[in-house]
Structure 1
């Protein structure tokens, strides 16, 4: 045990001993006046155990954020949510479809659709197969719950690190219309409207529509084109969500939901952060302006000569039935049926420079599509001492992934440029048309995934103070993948280099080049001239793979209520995430040697990776103080991951490996405080987590880690994460109100790269959002001024190896300061 671990354990148990405590929650909206001049925090309802409970009775770390606080802090998608949730990080990379959520430093890099998410996203009871599939306008929100730690019993799929449970507003029988209009910098224009009410005493409906657009916040140097757009990271989104609520009787309720989102943008470019030896060649090819040298990432200038059009369509329908069965002693049968189709088409300037090296056309040949059908049944009931639930879950998911990479006009010239003085030697071994423009890789992956599970979760009250929770889930996952690897060229460039590799060595040695120069030129020949995109071994290569696995997950929790205000608990949870397949080209042997030769190159026909398992232990307190005006909660956690799925981009392709052991241990501290000053309330929290790679035996892949990484922190795993939100609400006269909210999020330094390269570090950052508004006390109208990233904090989302540019690094930036005015109107 390390000294740091010992110190951690002593510190956290000392914290528990003095009754510090965990699990954040809500806004002043949840409070009601009590007594004369006093306020208290009323019951905060969450559904972390698939039934409505008071947050303080749930033996799970839950951050519950109300609709009002979500509105005050400007949360419209899961990335915005990080400002109010300590321990939660959400980033995106080459597209907003590649969005990744992490809790306590645990998550799955989202660029490779073959990997499922470690943090599950569930919207109105329907799980989303990847975090990026859940990235969009969330519409009218009732609340969002962030459940920390594995949730493998009730939520099941993709929840080995936690769950983001999103609950939208359901129809009510009271008529009302809401309208919201926003204008802001970067040409932001937004509008939304909803109408809600009853058609009769049994049927109610709600319709929400929204349109949002914004100019890009990166300037673009387009070089010689053909790109003409001079901005990047713009956005245009249209959303519609319709619902019907049918209350057939007091015992039967049915909710129908249909939604549609269309998202169009030019997104998402990286900017240079560190230039290696390739920068001279890049700039020479682009007439002196291929990339920025020296780098100045926060002047927010991208270099792109090709288009980055991205279109996302997300459509779905669901039906939830809740039926009270009197014949079963008041048990409730719940059925949740969901169908979703999500499609993403992507164009990309893959080299992120104004040189024309390689790219992806937005013609539909680089895309991903998920078609998903899911069904869940739950039967739940309760007696004086027992709260029981049994259920079944089924999901059928069809994934179609098209992978396209095309040669630009300067692919061959770039190889020669990197050779420098040895270019004449290289040119003799590279056919003039070895890398024909517009041609390249065009692979097709079709994956059929089926999952079914049986589960139960039961709470037993031995006494009024002691309660035991036992949950168990059995899951079966099967995946069948059919892949057609295809080159739209013959592979003549790589084939010629490979066939003449020995002659190339002799020619370079005869030219008097040093060993170091020869080694560098060999890396160029093999890494670029014979990169996987160029390799003739993938000419019309068909492959089929399958996995079929079963796993148990579950939980056991014991809670003890000392008083009405203090509850302690200890828990164990087992989480599971399915194995899968790397949807990229994976080769064996040396790319310099021909197939069949000793050590020669081969196409790996087994791209599978193992399932990910986690054992989690928690000890926590949930407490209320000062006449129920202060919630102060704390939890100590230890999570042990086996075969942690790690996805890494090496500048050419994605590598997937399993780390034998990753551990995350630390403390969650959270509070809600309604201060003696009646207008002022706070909520916030702190997460301290040591999330480390523990087993050096897992690090034998020299293409991933360049040194032993035992006891190194995992990427995107800051030690400290803290959030604080302050709300001040002041009545003005008898008719008006002024409300101000300021929220801040602090994150200590962390590495943004899966391979932990030191160039990928992000320093500690603090982001601040603020909103102030004046309006009618009955909320008929309100005008608000707001700012996101008020202090213009400059930070990286992800730093990555610049494609085909060994030694250079680019970054996807965090958003700059945005600000504007919002007008809200309510008609009742």
Structure 2
């Protein structure tokens, strides 16, 4: 069982009573204690006080949320209740969805930016497909931004962590005209890193970062009829991360090549690498939301957005200072660009009535391009003498006869289209008993084109293979059932119904019990990556569905001085054949 942490509910540490926490976990404003979902709501102040500057650190203060760090942001992921997706494929999406001001992010890597101007983060556990759509089969994170203010205010934050991490942020908010307010923010952060690269006798700090960016938010109230919010932001990240440390012996020769004691396990803080692993992110977005007051106290909400994300990956793959006889050098460089467009329209009824509901439609599209190049250096013999210090036999890179330079480049283009209609309603049978039901119809279309010729020797153009550089074209060899061309294509589509059923009962005034069944859905995918070869890997990864049963209590005692929220759940995922892109585990344990 998982108790609710009162630290998130308390705005003023000296207050004797807990404040009411308002969330939009069901896309309408509600008291957290009335929402029949396992939700953690973390305020922006709580993030600052805990030193949480990105989603990578959020798991330290939110139970059952973990972060899986990859070599780059593109290969990192969030995991909820032990369920998540770790995939190198451009045509596979996360199981834990991230929503920023109503916009669903296309890829996990887009979410790992600095947290700026956050009013709160809501962590919703379990499938959330009814209201939030596909790829929230394990849950989702909803990030809500601070808005403009009616009075001028400014905020300056400066931070320093020994030995060499600095952060700064400046934010201004206030009115522009009578009905127009704004918030503008700029930020910068830098860190030298916690690993020393001793290559070439240097002591270069790596695993650091340099982040910078800014954002603008405008809130406009059009009398009593409507209100609008516009947000645009820009973010850059240059990280020399993450250098992979060798903590065990790789044999006498390779250990000597490294030049330091690499058998200290987690205590190793040195590397000796001739290529520094780096990640470069560029991202900008624009979001427009309009809320319109309609007759009978209905509210019409329209949310549209565009996001562009560019990720460059430079990776050291052999973790050595040079290529040796029998031990190849492997270097990678990749570039991913994603453009996504989305629009949602929904109608919500008066939430004070006996029967409340909301219905809506959703459209989402993303274009994804990737170029990836792998470069090897290999040699079976060398014209250079054996190194008397290490005993290694270095490849002679000037000798293009005995030394090979296998390389290949792939180009991938993946398109996602998603359409959905949804509805959810709650009927108050009595003042204490409520039933909620919802359903969502989703249509997914995924298609890709992947181009990659067989590996060649970079110096001669003749066929050559090496570690991770195969001699097969993207279309696969004819002998293996492929078409023998350098191009592979695929297209798949799927229709799905997901939904939920919930019963709530107020045992006492401040004690609510609930039980729910939710059906989650994760859309189809493809294994599209550098070494993708048809026909085997061009078969689609079919949809995933999950059934989750949850029961919980939300309660406050002693005149709102003590809050105890707890939930238990059991969940199972039904994945179709060819799920090799996914590394998911589904526990049947209480959180």
- How far the C-alpha of 1:199 sits from its partner, in A, is 1.2
Corresponding residue for residue 268 of structure 1 = 242
1:370-769 equivalence runs, <5 A? 370-382=338-350, 384-408=353-377, 410=378, 412=380, 433=401, 436-437=404-405, 439-487=406-454, 489=456, 531-538=467-474, 541-584=486-529, 604=536, 606-643=538-575, 656=581, 663-668=586-591
Would you say the 8 A contact 1:206–1:242 is kept in 2?
A: yes
1:764-783 equivalence runs, <5 A? none
Corresponding residue for residue 347 of structure 1 = 314
What secondary structure is seen at the aligned counterpart in 2 of 1:72?
Answer: helix
Q: CA RMSD in A?
A: 3.0
Pick the structure with more helix per residue.
1
Q: 1:413 to 1:57 in 2, by over 3 A?
A: farther
Matched, 1:231 2:211: no
Would you say the 8 A contact 2:247–2:262 is kept in 1?
A: no
Residue-by-residue CA offset, 1:500-551 (whole Å, 9 max, x unaligned):
xxxxxxxxxxxxxxxxxxxxxxxxxxxxx66551324459611110011111
Corresponding residue for residue 368 of structure 1 = 336
- 2:176 aligned to 181, 186, 199, which one? 199
> Could you tell me how far apart the structure 2 residues matched to 1:265 and 1:587 are?
28
Gaps of 5+ in 1: 1-11, 13-20, 415-426, 498-528, 589-601, 648-654, 669-828
- How far the C-alpha of 1:621 sits from its partner, in A, is 1.2
Deviates more, 1:484-493 or 1:545-554: 484-493
> Could you tell me how far apart the structure 1 residues matched to 2:191 and 2:583 are?
40
- How far the C-alpha of 1:127 sits from its partner, in A, is 1.1
> Could you tell me how far apart the structure 2 residues matched to 1:559 and 1:66 are?
26
Residue-by-residue CA offset, 1:567-597 (whole Å, 9 max, x unaligned):
1111000001112111225678xxxxxxxxx
- How far the C-alpha of 1:351 sits from its partner, in A, is 1.5
Count of matched residue positions in the alignment of Structure 1 and Structure 2: 564
Corresponding residue for residue 477 of structure 2 = none
The structure that has the greater radius of gyration is 1
Would you say the 8 A contact 1:213–1:237 is kept in 2?
A: yes
- How far the C-alpha of 1:130 sits from its partner, in A, is 1.9
Matched, 1:216 2:141: no
What secondary structure is seen at the aligned counterpart in 1 of 2:33?
Answer: helix
Q: 1:466 to 1:413 in 2, by over 3 A?
A: farther
What secondary structure is seen at the aligned counterpart in 1 of 2:48?
Answer: helix
Q: 1:413 to 1:52 in 2, by over 3 A?
A: farther
What secondary structure is seen at the aligned counterpart in 2 of 1:43?
Answer: coil
- 2:163 aligned to 186, 189, 192, which one? 186
Matched, 1:318 2:287: yes
> Could you tell me how far apart the structure 2 residues matched to 1:587 and 1:336 are?
37
Matched, 1:246 2:220: yes
Q: 1:22 to 1:52 in 2, by over 3 A?
A: farther
Residue-by-residue CA offset, 1:702-752 (whole Å, 9 max, x unaligned):
xxxxxxxxxxxxxxxxxxxxxxxxxxxxxxxxxxxxxxxxxxxxxxxxxxx
Q: 1:99 to 1:411 in 2, by over 3 A?
A: farther
- 2:91 aligned to 105, 110, 114, which one? 114
- How far the C-alpha of 1:634 sits from its partner, in A, is 1.7
Residue-by-residue CA offset, 1:293-348 (whole Å, 9 max, x unaligned):
4343323112311132321101000001001112xx11100011010000011111
- How far the C-alpha of 1:289 sits from its partner, in A, is 2.2
The TM-score, its normalising length taken from structure 2, stands at: 0.88
What secondary structure is seen at the aligned counterpart in 2 of 1:153?
Answer: helix
Matched, 1:143 2:90: no
- 2:45 aligned to 63, 68, 72, which one? 68
Gaps of 5+ in 2: 383-394, 475-483
> Could you tell me how far apart the structure 2 residues matched to 1:377 and 1:578 are?
21
Q: 1:48 to 1:187 in 2, by over 3 A?
A: same
